[in-house]
Amino acid sequence: MSHELRTPLAAVLGYAELLQEGIYGALPEKSLPILTRIRSNGNHLLSLINTVLDISKIEAGQFKLNVAEYALGSIVETVMVATESVAATKKLAFKTDVAKELSYGLGDEQRLTQVLLNLVGNAIKFTDAGEVRITAGATNGHFTVSVSDTGPGIPPEECEHIFEKFRQVDSSNTRAKGGTGLGLAIAREIVEMHGGRIWVESTLGQGSTFRMDLPVRAPITPGAA
């Protein structure tokens, strides 16, 4: 299924990139930013497809972890590199605070990266001024990871529901801020499959902190879920 959905989109994105590279000849100057838009919309669609595929796998009970050794610090690094330019565009300060000498974790690095990317992406999206901060440490055989922002905060009655599918604090935000309302539901699934938990602490008007507590060694057999 995933192959069938992604291949035509890969073709659209590939041809757009070649057009922009001038492989098919010089294009009018004005068409170049349009190709940039085609590509950024295509990449957005690709991430939506990936999200919907993840949810359908979860619902079918076919969501599997690819378990191996990972370094939490390098997950934070990957997420920072992927998001710092967006934070900079919004003039947000981006800070990371990773404890030194963390031991290697056992889990699905790619999926955990996806979780952190989702949390940081949300924090940047909903924060208009101030900072976004990732902290990572370890206590008692558990990694503790948090993503805090200085955004609008989440009403207390929403904090427990925000990890449910299609849940967004303000549905008018769906259009203004984008998103499917599925990212946090997938994040919770991934964290719980690792034997961990995820929650949010928030004060309206002051910001939110999403916290994860993950066993350093996920209680699952390597290579399988």
Catalog residues that contact other proteins under the rule CB under 8 A.
2-3, 6-11, 13-15, 17-18, 21, 23-24, 46, 66, 68, 109-110, 223
Cβ nearer to other proteins, comparing 109 with 149: 109
Cβ nearer to other proteins, comparing 110 with 168: 110
Phi, psi of 202 (to 5 degrees): -150, 145
User: Cβ(68)–Cβ(222) under 8 Å?
Assistant: yes
Cβ nearer to other proteins, comparing 66 with 139: 66
Read off the DSSP letter of residue 61.
T
| Sheet containing 207-215, strands listed edge to edge, beginning at the edge strand earlier in sequence | 93-98, 131-139, 142-149, 207-215, 197-203
Cβ nearer to other proteins, comparing 19 with 169: 19
Q: How far is the CB of 176 from other proteins (least distance, A)?
A: 28
Kindly write down the DSSP assignment for every residue of 169-210, as one continuous string: SSTHHHHHH---S-HHHHHHHHHHHTT-EEEEEEETTTEEEE
How far apart are the C-alpha atoms of 133 and 11, rounded to whole Å? 37
Q: How far is the CB of 187 from other proteins (least distance, A)?
A: 18
Q: How far is the CB of 154 from other proteins (least distance, A)?
A: 32
Q: How far is the CB of 157 from other proteins (least distance, A)?
A: 38
